[in-house]
Amino acid sequence: MAAEGNPIGGQFRGTYRNRLDAKKRVSVPASFRTVLAGQGLVLRRSSKHNCIEAWPANLFAHDVPAITPNDFNDDEADDSYYVNYADTVDAVPDGEGRLVMDEGLLRFAGIKDSIAFLGKNQIFELWEPQAADDMIEAARIRMQERAAARRAAIANGGAA
């Protein structure tokens, strides 16, 4: 049964590293394959980071808006459709749980021979491993700084 608000019924959690083989295939972590339950993925460039977003196909279809006739003259909608539809790659893990990776996506993310898989709740991201480590550490620091700022505001009589 799918979790409320999550059409795929699970969460992608954890950080894993796997190597690309000579055919540019990489094994999807077993726990991620369990969440996918046999469905395919939509891979796309992140609009925020130099990484690849991996969306379960049914979640992508559920969360990414469909084109409407009113959108054809809207530049912002046009940009969104190019990014969300033209600049994506459909991928289905093979019988051994491997994905064949797109060269353009690998170049975008700076991935050469290893991939870091970062769980991100309903989706996961594929990163160059050192960049992933750097991002996680920077996120930890930002979280600590925000928590310290909230504590200071509360101590000074302000709301969090």
Query: What per-residue confidence (pLDDT) applies to 71?
Result: 61
For residue 116, the Cα-to-chain-centroid distance in whole angstroms is 11
In the chain, what's the furthest Cα-to-Cα distance? 60
Mapping DSSP onto H, E and C, the string for 32-62 reads HHHHHCCCCEEEEECCCCCCEEEEEHHHHHH
pLDDT per residue as tens digits for the range 82-114 = 777 778 999 999 999 999 999 999 999 999 999
pLDDT per residue as tens digits for the range 120-157 = 999 999 999 999 999 999 999 999 999 999 999 998 88
Query: What per-residue confidence (pLDDT) applies to 2?
Result: 40
> Is the pLDDT at 29 greater than 70, yes or no?
yes
Q: 139 — phi, psi (to 5°)?
A: -65, -40
Query: What per-residue confidence (pLDDT) applies to 3?
Result: 40
> Is the pLDDT at 22 greater than 60, yes or no?
yes
- Structural domains in the chain, CATH included, are 15-128 (3.40.1550.20)
| Local confidence band at 6 (pLDDT 50, 70, 90 cut-offs) | very low
pLDDT per residue as tens digits for the range 44-87 = 999 899 999 999 998 887 766 666 666 667 787 777 777 777 78
